[in-house]
Amino acid sequence: MSSTSGTEVAGKKGSGTTSAAAPVTPVLLSRKPSRIREEGVASGGTAKTACIRTFGCQMNVHDSDRIRRMIRDAGYAEVQRYEEADIVVLNTCYVRENAVDRVKGHLGELSRLKKEGRVSKVALTGCIGAASEASELEKQYGIDLVLGTHNTYELAEFVGLPGMEEARTPELPGAAELEGEHSTFVTIMTGCNYVCSYCVVPSVRGRMVCRTMENLLGEVRRLVAGGTRYVTLLGQTVDAWREDGKRFSDLLERVADEAPRVWFTTSHPSNMEDRTLRLIGVRDTIVGRLHLPVQSGSDRMLKVMHRGYKSDRYRRKIEVFREAVPEGSLSTDIIVGHPGETEEDHEETLRLIEDCGFDAAYVFKFSPRRGTEAAKLPGAVPDKVAQRRFLEVLRAIEGNALTRNRARVGSVVEIYVRHGRTGDGHAIGETWSGHAVHVPTDAEAGRYVTAAIEGAGPHVLYAGDPVGPPR
Ligand code: SAM
Ligand code: SF4
């Protein structure tokens, strides 16, 4: 994005990923007496403590930030171990069965700790809370409070804050939290209007609701004024955002005027417009990384999944992106073993991977979810076959990614520090092209350093000592 001592530094068309979040004070519409507040401090006279565990996607990470804020406002200190917590909140994901199994494991441990008197209350929030299965879990594990995705505000009363019937104005769904953090998620829309055969999101998150541009921009300005240096626009189909005649590219352009660094996720190929892809290429403040889930390379499977596009249309989008952002990075989601997936369909997926040259992918084995169309479809793929396809897809993605990453060795890049130095001795950063980088620096999160790329793996680049001080 700039150059140092005459060396060309890979600017924004050169690495990325993201995190954290900032605020909008909840709107109190009614007050109710609190239950737990009356207890003041926890037994033994010590400060009250709470532990939050997050499962799943960035939307859940973002929701957990909101929960964290409520808990802090209620005077709880956050702890990392269940045994040290008075209250435990599990903010959960329902997308795949193994996510539910993991949560059940935690619930089992928590009900044991409750019996031993080491944890007093357990709340289950998020997508499992919104699913019909939640009432069974509530009984089985003696959960004290179960909340879905639309009524997280009820947690306020649970932790002893004044009750809130509505924690957000209707045009403010998913307002960002933790103002002042260097990196912030801003939810621009909630829910989803698609009906992908395999997916529970529409049933647990509801239909799409978009925040207004005015409201969003106001929030972004407040966040930036409060110290946020990186804004990630968030939504299940973020590029489906609309307001009157305005579309996602209009919103992105305005946010890119206000924030020093911007990214967005997750996009849907049917909504992704060429002008959005071109905008990424021309605006210095937008990270050059596109996450565009394809799910399958087979037109037949894309139809069964109700994705609404064919593989060639996806390929054309990628061509536009590669032309507009030549140094950019591309990631996707792929499901293997969806009911009815044949060997030919799988081959089509491998062909698409080859054609698109992804830099990264989240690869999932199909997981049947109660209430979805795919859970009832015939043609289940045996696990052994799905596992083999999973590994083949993974290897193809990693092979591509490694080749592409190696081509970056020797370049000098500007790196945004996302996490300060870890126990492993390096900070974790992101280039303007959206690539993850390990860099040996003591620079704090939110600062930039410039360094040469000296090594590459399939998932990460390795930088040498930074040139000059952090900025
Ligand atoms: N809204 C995004 C989209 O349309 O691509 C993704 C949302 S979903 C929470 C994240 C990813 O989980 C999906 O892209 C899909 O690959 C995967 N996924 C969702 N349901 C799944 C299921 N039943 N089995 C396996 N993977 C699944
Ligand atoms: Fe789920 Fe499809 Fe909506 Fe994505 S677009 S959230 S996969 S239904």
Q: pLDDT tens digits for 302-354?
A: 999 999 999 999 999 999 999 999 999 999 999 999 999 999 999 999 999 99
pLDDT at site 25: 24
The better pLDDT of the pair 206, 411 is held by 411
pLDDT at site 42: 36
Q: Residues with beta carbon inside 6 Å of ligand 1?
A: 57, 95-96, 198-199, 201, 236-237, 266, 268, 293, 295, 333, 335, 364, 366-367, 369
Answer yes or no: are the C-beta atoms of 389 and 446 closer than 8 Å.
no
Nearest alpha-carbon partner for 262 in 88, 440, 61, 1: 1
Question: CA-CA distances (angstroms) from residue 186 to 59, 64, 103, 131?
Answer: 10, 13, 26, 25
pLDDT band at 46 (very low <50, low <70, confident <90, very high): low
pLDDT band at 153 (very low <50, low <70, confident <90, very high): low
Q: Which of 201, 335, 367 to mutate to test the pocket of ligand 2 (most atoms within 8 A of CB)?
A: 201
Answer positive or negative: Cα dihedral of 409, 414, 418, 424. Answer: positive
pLDDT at site 385: 97
DSSP 25: P
Which residue is associated with the tokens 């001795």? 425
In the predicted model, is pLDDT for residue 33 greater than 60? no
pLDDT at site 73: 72
Return the residue whose CA atom lies nearest to atom 22 of ligand 1: 367
Return the residue whose CA atom lies nearest to atom 16 of ligand 1: 333
Q: Which of 244-253, 377-386, 394-403, 417-426 has the lowest mean pLDDT?
A: 417-426
What is the whole-number distance in angstroms between the Cα of residue 57 and the centre of ligand 1? 10
Which residue is associated with the tokens 């998913």? 174
Nearest alpha-carbon partner for 122 in 149, 92, 145: 145
What is the amino acid identity at position 338?
A: H
Which residue is associated with the tokens 């009432």? 135
309 in contact with ligand 2, CB cutoff 6 A = no
In the predicted model, is pLDDT for residue 54 greater than 70? yes
In the predicted model, is pLDDT for residue 152 greater than 80? no
236 in contact with ligand 2, CB cutoff 6 A = yes
First to last CA, the chain: 13
What is the whole-number distance in angstroms between the Cα of residue 395 and the centre of ligand 2? 25
Q: Mean per-residue pLDDT for 38-51? A: 54
Q: How far apart are CA 78 and CA 80, in angstroms?
A: 7
pLDDT at site 158: 75
pLDDT at site 77: 86
182 in contact with ligand 2, CB cutoff 6 A = no
Stretch (H or E) spanning 202: helix 201-205
The alpha-helical segments, DSSP class H, found in 50-197 are 58-73, 97-115, 127-130, 134-141, 155-158
The alpha-helical segments, DSSP class H, found in 325-470 are 343-356, 383-406
268 in contact with ligand 2, CB cutoff 6 A = yes
Output the six-digit token pair for 452.
């040469």
Q: Which of 305, 331, 364 to mutate to test the pocket of ligand 1 (most atoms within 8 A of CB)?
A: 364
Q: How far apart are CA 396 and CA 110, in angstroms?
A: 40
Return the residue whose CA atom lies nearest to atom 1 of ligand 1: 236
Return the residue whose CA atom lies nearest to atom 4 of ligand 2: 236
Return the residue whose CA atom lies nearest to atom 5 of ligand 2: 194
What is the whole-number distance in angstroms between the Cα of residue 110 and the centre of ligand 2? 32
265 in contact with ligand 2, CB cutoff 6 A = no
Give tens-digit pLDDT for 155-206: 766 776 544 333 332 233 333 444 346 888 899 998 899 999 999 888 887 8
Q: Which atom of ligand 1 is nearest to the CA of 194?
A: 4
pLDDT band at 39 (very low <50, low <70, confident <90, very high): very low
Question: How much of the chain, in percent, has pLDDT values that exceed 90?
Answer: 54
What is the whole-number distance in angstroms between the Cα of residue 200 and the centre of ligand 2? 8
Q: Are strands 189-190 and 209-210 parallel, antiparallel or unpaired?
A: antiparallel
What is the whole-number distance in angstroms between the Cα of residue 227 and the centre of ligand 1? 33
